[in-house]
């Protein structure tokens, strides 16, 4: 065998060995030294993602998932406090960052974690000690799954804190005084924390997360008997459900009017076309848990930010019309009301109607206040006076004229005609409407209930038979209109499904089989 032949045989083997070595080195680089085998993941609400090195550039290793409560419990068992990991500042509060008040440079921050964490784990006694190698902390396979759940400061929690602080609002609420260069409390300027504290820290203004832990958690640490001092205490879903709820908390009063008109700013009233909207502020407060449901950025009136025709200097480009009518927004009137339609007792009719669109009937229900030119002449007192109530208009025909049962047998072939309990269903829907203040208000008159099925019949008119619009066979030239068979089954079965009605569950539940079939 010649030299060239031997080299030809060895070259592929050397290439294979080189590739295997590169793969092995790559795995070491990716997983780190001492990488542990994949284990079953654990769900916890106290997981903090340690990714501080992002502040200095791209991460070289996977982030660290840190079970905070697990560590505080272990430290407490040894008689240690938060000062083991957090610096106590001059004002008595703990700095939120680990072993430092602020980020400095890459090497300093990295060494803080490595030296302190690994050293503590090495000193820990007992069977369960913490990881001491790179791959045990910087894992590709997540050991923990975070079940962290955001907690909202609703009316009940606000009331409980208000009482605990003897109604001293300055414990939490503050604004920055430019002249004094410090935080001060100003009565009737109380606002949501989120109005100032955003997702990220801006200059010297803490992020919402930092502010909440600095102020709220800091207060709980000083007064352990008043509130939770663990991550799970606030952010575990089950523990949130166990928080005591005050059924009827006192009103959050900030000098707001009980009643007002939703309208453009006075300077823009000349451009308004419709009568303004009567708005019962006090009623909406009772239905909503948080002021920021509507006042999503500040506590200002809607028309201070949202204009009919925003110019270049406007606070937002979202017009007043959009802010009030956006069906997809949880902050808009129409969007919030649309969510109510998805409730079981409402969905039987509303789930089958055209979505994302308001009817002319709905417009006149809201826009029932003074005309714009009349509002411009009204005093402040007149603008905040309780408007006259609205009474539900009665049926335009007598209840006794409504048939008790309607027999649907136009398409009967294998089955007998279906006996439809017409009046019983109307009475049930009327009961649902009567039990809901918002439904009573927006239906306006009882005839509206008929449009749940007779959807194109004008309110107040006797509806024609379904087959007047829906022909027996399917009309291929009108694809958006089902045939009579499809219309009946879509309407009836669609209503049952939306309202979680399980019976009847099959064809014979509505249609008795004909003899011989």
List of long-range contacts for 77-82, beta carbons under 8 Å, 24+ apart: 82/221
d(CA 517, CA 513): 7
**Neighbour tally for 179: CB within 10 Å:** 6
Q: What radius of gyration do the chain's Cα atoms show?
A: 33
Q: Dig out the tokens for 35 from the structure.
A: 């990488």
Work out the end-to-end distance of the chain between its first and last CA atoms, rounded to an integer number of angstroms. 89
Contact between residue 227 and residue 247 where contact means Cβ atoms under 8 Å apart: no
**Pairing status of strand 144-146 against strand 42-44:** parallel
CA dihedral sign, ordered 333, 338, 343, 349:
positive
Asked whether the whole model's pTM tops 0.95, one would answer no
Name residues whose C-beta falls within 8 Å of residue 168's C-beta, 6 or more positions apart in sequence.
Answer: none
Can you give the pLDDT of all 517 residues of the chain as single tens digits?
Answer: 554 554 555 555 545 555 555 454 444 444 444 444 456 789 999 999 999 899 899 999 999 999 999 999 999 998 999 999 999 988 888 888 999 998 899 999 999 999 999 999 988 766 667 899 999 999 999 899 999 999 988 999 999 999 999 999 999 999 999 999 999 999 999 999 999 999 988 988 989 998 999 889 989 988 888 899 999 999 999 999 999 999 999 998 899 999 999 999 999 999 999 999 999 999 999 888 889 889 988 889 999 999 999 888 888 899 999 999 998 888 899 999 988 999 999 999 998 887 777 776 778 888 989 999 999 999 999 999 998 766 555 656 677 778 899 998 876 778 888 999 999 998 899 889 888 888 888 886 777 888 888 888 887 778 888 888 888 887 888 888 889 888 999 999 999 999 999 988 888 889 888 887 6
d(CA 104, CA 102): 6
Facing residues of 261 across strands? 278
pLDDT at position 47: 96
d(CA 91, CA 13): 68
């Amino acid at each position: 065998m010649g030299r060239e032949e031997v080299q030809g045989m060895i070259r592929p083997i050397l290439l294979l060995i080189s590739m295997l070595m590169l793969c092995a080195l790559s795995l070491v680089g990716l997983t780190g030294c001492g990488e542990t085998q994949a284990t079953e993941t654990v769900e916890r609400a106290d997981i903090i993602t340690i990714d501080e090195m992002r502040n200095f550039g791209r991460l070289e290793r996977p982030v660290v998932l840190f079970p905070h409560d697990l560590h505080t419990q272990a430290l407490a068992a040894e008689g240690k406090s938060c000062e083991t990991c957090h610096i106590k500042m001059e004002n008595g509060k703990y700095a939120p960052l680990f072993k430092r008040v602020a980020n400095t440079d890459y090497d300093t921050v990295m060494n803080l974690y490595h030296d302190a964490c690994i050293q503590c784990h090495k000193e820990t006694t007992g069977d369960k000690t913490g990881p001491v190698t790179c791959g045990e902390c910087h894992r590709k396979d997540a050991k923990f799954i975070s079940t962290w759940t955001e907690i909202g400061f609703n009316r009940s929690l606000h009331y409980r804190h208000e009482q605990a602080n003897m109604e001293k609002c300055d414990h939490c609420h503050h604004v920055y005084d430019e002249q004094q260069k410090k935080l001060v409390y100003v009565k009737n300027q109380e606002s949501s924390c989120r109005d100032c504290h955003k997702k990220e820290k801006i200059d010297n203004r803490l992020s919402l997360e930092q502010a909440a832990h600095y102020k709220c958690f800091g207060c709980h640490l000083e007064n352990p008997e008043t509130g939770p001092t663990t991550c799970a205490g606030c952010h575990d879903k089950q523990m949130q459900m166990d928080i005591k709820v005050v059924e009827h908390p006192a009103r959050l009063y900030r000098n707001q009017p009980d009643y007002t008109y939703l309208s453009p700013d006075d300077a823009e009233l000349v451009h308004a076309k419709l009568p303004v909207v009567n708005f019962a502020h006090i009623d909406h407060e009772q239905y909503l848990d948080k002021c920021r449901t509507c006042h999503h950025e500040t506590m200002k009136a809607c028309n201070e930010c949202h204009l009919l025709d925003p110019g270049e200097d406007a606070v937002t480009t979202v017009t007043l019309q959009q802010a009030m009518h956006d069906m997809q927004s949880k902050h808009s009137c129409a969007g919030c009301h649309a969510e109510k339609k998805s409730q079981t007792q409402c969905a039987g009719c509303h789930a089958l109607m055209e979505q994302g669109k308001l009817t002319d009937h709905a417009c006149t229900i809201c826009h029932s206040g003074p005309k714009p030119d009349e509002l411009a002449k009204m005093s402040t007192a007149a603008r905040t006076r309780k408007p006259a109530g609205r009474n539900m208009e009665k049926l335009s025909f007598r209840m006794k004229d409504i048939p008790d049962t309607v027999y649907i047998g136009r398409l009967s072939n294998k089955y007998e005609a279906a006996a439809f309990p017409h009046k019983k269903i109307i009475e049930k829907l009327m009961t649902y409407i009567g039990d809901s203040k918002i439904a009573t208000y927006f239906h306006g008159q009882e005839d509206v209930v008929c449009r749940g099925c007779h959807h194109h019949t004008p309110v107040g008119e006797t509806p024609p038979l379904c087959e007047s619009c829906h022909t027996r066979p399917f009309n291929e030239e009108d694809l958006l209109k089902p045939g009579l068979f499809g219309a009946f089954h879509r309407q009836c079965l669609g209503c049952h499904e939306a309202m979680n009605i399980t019976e009847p569950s099959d064809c014979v539940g509505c249609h008795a089989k004909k003899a011989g079939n």
